[in-house]
Amino acid sequence: MHNLGTHNFERMTSKRIAHIGRLTAFVAGILLFSCSKNPLCVGEDINLGLIKKSFSAKEMALINEPRSDRNTFIITNEEDYHNLVLDSLANPEEELPEIDFRHFTLLGQCIEGNGCDIHLVREVTENAALGRYEYNVTMRECGECDIHFFSMNWVLVPTLPKDYYVTFRSAFK
């Protein structure tokens, strides 16, 4: 009888060890492959190319919620800039950042996604052969969360040359 008890104890102990091993492997897998360890999810948003400044949602709170269905904007003058306020759901008592439209053009491109952590790569390049600026936004969505993210991606670029136009593209990784 003593042998049988020892055998049952050893079998229960080996089952516990196997269970603890599986649990440890599961937790290690979560930590190893979690959002914070993913190289695409580390760091700050990035601005490349012609972008002189990007604006945070807080800085542009007054125009971050346009009422219209437009999702791209090319603002080349003070009047159009202030008309964005009329097309916004935000508090009209907020103030817009000052922009010198003699030297800059304001571009905006709405992008939406889901994830635990979101990082944006914004790039504006000039294609002189085609007479255009090209504004590309890549959103890196990280994790399996169902948190909705929205950004207007307001950026300042050198004044859009006469007869130029802007193409807008977005991608998700």
H or E, element range at 114: strand 111-114
pLDDT at 11 over 90: no
Taking 3-state DSSP, the helix, strand and coil percentages for the chain, each rounded to the nearest 5, stand at 30, 35, 35
pLDDT tens per residue across span 84-140: 776 665 555 667 789 999 999 999 998 887 777 778 899 999 999 999 999 999 988
User: pTM to 2 decimals?
Assistant: 0.70
Q: Taking the CA of residue 105 as centre, how many other CA atoms within 13 Å lie in the half-sphere pointing to its CB?
A: 19
The values of phi and psi at residue 112, to 5°, are -130, 150
Nearest alpha-carbon partner for 133 in 82, 73, 63: 73
pLDDT tens per residue across span 33-81: 444 445 556 668 899 999 999 987 776 765 656 556 678 999 999 999 8
